[in-house]
Amino acid sequence: MRLAVVVQRMVVAEVSGVLFTVDPVTQHRATMLIDAVRGLGEALVGGRITPDVFRVDRRRMWVLERATAVPADGTPEPILDDDRVLELARLGGAVEAHFGTPQDIEWAVADGLVHVLQSRPITSLYPIDALRSPDGSLHVHFSVGHQQSMTRAMTPLGRSTVLALVPGGDHDPTAEHAVLHVAGGRLFADVTQVLRHPVGRRALMGMLSQLDALAPDAVRVAMARPEFRHRPRPRLSFARVRGLLAVAGRVAATVGWRDLTGFRLAAEARMDAFEAEARGRIGSAPLGRERGEVSLEVARSVFPFLLTFVPLVAAGVIATRLLTRLAGRWLDADELEALTLAVPGNVVNEMNLAIDDLAEKARRSPELVARFDAVGEDARAWLAAAAGVDGGRAFLAAFAAFLERFGARGAAEIDLSMPRFRDEPMPVLKVIAASLRNEGPTYRERVAGYEAERAAAFERLVAAARRGFAGPLRVRALRRLYRTMVEVGGMREHHKFLAVRVLALIREGVVDLAERLVARGSLGTVDDVWYLTWPELSAAWGAAHDDLRARIASRRAAHARDQRLSPPLIVTSDGEIPSVRYRHEGAHDGALLGNPVSPGVIEGPAHVVTDPARDELAPGEVLVAEFTDPGWTPLFINASGLVLEVGGALTHGAVVAREYGIPAVVGVRGATAAIRTGQRVGVDGDRGIVEVLDGG
């Protein structure tokens, strides 16, 4: 082996420092960051001295910002003048151009000359190649993963499927989608045109505030940039305005006067029929290229079908908000919270009630309960063994019925590659095992209590609002809003539930195709299929094996790298990740701050969960996670509180926490790193404060 020896001339530094050709804090690709100190840079690198800091706009070559450190004698004196700062910036640009990637450069000034001591690539930047501006103006992108409460990287086939599901694009990764773009293995939506129109901006900001309380502030930071402002606003076409008015009319009718009797059951029947038709179309297609093409056709048909349910979902949300806003005049905070508890028809809540029923069925057999004390890690082996114990067959029949209804769900379920409960039922078995250790009320009993609280709160509201001359009119309006909330307010998850069920059907078909390709020698393993796109899967029936396997190996490595990245909520086409933070009065130093989305204050042992398929929550533990989606919901049955890094008032974790009556704080950046399993934590769901109370 040969080693290179670096020989450098020692220089006596008058001034030294570090130059980042891309600001590592904001990640703005057109901003350089320069730190400078007098003398050697050792104290700077070791963190023992505060440097002068300069930010440079590399496009216009001027100094944007300078912060001069205050020395011990209290008389600040700039270390570098603007000419020297710009000289360093030009040098940094040349070094970056040489290596072809942003650089972290150590430099020194000796005898009036700038010396480059070393340079290395900046590895912490989030990739934005696919997010570059198509027209030279600044574009703003929103993370779809945050909206879906899933920030993990998606596999290529998973992304390819979503791009086929959403109108405006194609399943071909070389084709440009009108809105969605892939960066770091995640999907980002370009919301620029919506933000440039005042009506669209108001609607989008309202939606973003419900998904993450900091998102609107981050968007405003981006919109304040000159590159964003100096553009004409788009105009809505007459056809689009007419379409929006039609939707608004249907929403108003649903909220105000439409007969909703049996409506949810009819909608569910339509969705079940759609799923059955999709199953038939995929299952009857010949196993091979044709089945893949039919699966894609089914995927493309989902979105237009779901659009017919948008007015219902919107009506439920609007009715709930109007009801609570009007009720705030007569009810206190606790009564207001009770008013929206346990709204019927929510498929996530129904799934957890079904799990609770499974636990109660298992509880009837002491032998089966003993089996649940040692669930292990092999779900299939455990289920096979359970068939031979007292009460086992009845439990397994109920379990099979559960999987028939909810088996399409799972963690990160919008990614086609992720296993479903039907594929890997261990997460459900572990929740049942934890529920069997619960000596308190069952989940069904708790939900019954919530329903009683809701009914009682509404009766108090009616009694209070009835007073006065306008009382009868107020009561009539409140009763209508309450009825709309009860009849359709629980349907906000129905559209995703159907999409997930169809995705599960497509997944089954893809696995069948992959098994055939493995038998032909085109794929090494079934899991290889997730690293192809739909056009490549179609072409795989005639592709050269070596080329396909080399491509898959490269994408596996890229996916592993992407998985280690932390995606931004908001990012611009210049790579800037706007820096915004929560501010809460009265929070102690060291407290973690977030968005309070479910009221109440709780203390309990923390349980940091990274994989819901492996972890189970003991009764009374505080669930701490990066995010949750419906596949995580069974864990909520035993949770006493919730802390999430991602989310807002309307994201999955927040909604479920409110329905379960547990305090929750979301949007707590860095929570899974700052909190360890076993530590006692306080969760203040009223103020949005999380505190670590002991060392665990």
In Å, how far are 261, 264, 309, 410, 499 from 271, measured between CA atoms?
18, 11, 10, 19, 10
Given a contact cutoff of 8 angstroms between Cβ atoms, the answer to whether 349 and 342 are in contact is: yes
For 438, the token pair is 């619960």
**Cβ neighbours of residue 153 under 8 Å, at least 6 residues apart?**
184, 185, 186, 559, 562, 563, 565
Q: Say how far apart CA 208 and CA 214 lie, in whole Å.
A: 9
415 and 155 Cβ atoms separated by less than 8 Å: yes
Half-sphere CA count of 446, side-chain side, radius 13 A? 20
Q: Which helix (H) or strand (E) holds 60?
A: none
Q: Write the secondary structure of 289-331 as one string of H (helix), E (strand) and C (coil).
A: HHHHHHHHHHHHHHHHHHHCCHHHHHHHHHHHHHHHHHHCCCC
Return the structure tokens found at 515: 């098994």
Q: Which runs of consecutive H residues, i.e. helices, occur in 175-237?
A: 192-195, 198-211, 215-223, 226-229
Among candidate residues 46, 51, 45, 21, the one with its CA nearest the CA of residue 33: 21
Strand order in the sheet with 31-38: 62-67, 52-57, 31-38, 15-20, 103-110, 113-121
Parallel, antiparallel, or unpaired: how do β-strands 592-593 and 186-190 relate? unpaired
Sign of torsion over alpha carbons 450, 452, 454, 456: negative
State yes or no: is 652 an active-site residue.
yes
How far is it, in rounded angstroms, from Cα 190 to Cα 180? 6
Question: How many residues can be counted in the chain?
Answer: 696
Tokens of 245: 């008015």
Characterize the bridge pairing of strands 113-121 and 140-143: unpaired
DSSP states of 517-581: HHHHTS-SSGGGGGGS-HHHHHHTTTS-HHHHHHHHHHHHHHHHHHHTS---SEEETT-------
Whether the Cβ atoms of residue 330 and residue 435 lie closer than 8 Å to each other = no
Stated as kind and residue range, the H or E segment containing 113 is strand 113-121
d(CA 383, CA 572): 50
Determine how β-strand 680-684 pairs with β-strand 601-608: antiparallel
CA 571/CA 222 separation, integer angstroms = 8
CA gap 577, 632 in Å, rounded: 28
| Distance of alpha carbon 237 from alpha carbon 230, whole angstroms | 22
119 phi, psi to nearest 5 deg:
-145, 140
Nearest C-alpha neighbor of 436 from the set 524, 386, 363, 488: 363
CA distance 611 to 411: 8
Strands across the sheet containing 601-608: 592-593, 689-692, 680-684, 601-608, 622-625, 641-644, 664-666, 595-598
Of 141, 146, 607, 652, which residue is the catalytic one?
652
Structure tokens given for 607: 């349980």
The first and second tokens of residue 471, run together, are: 């009382």
Of 241, 262, 436, nearest to 357 (Cα)? Answer: 436
CB atoms within 10 A of CB 73: 7
Question: What does the DSSP 8-state code read for residue 587?
Answer: P
**Which residues carry out catalysis?**
652
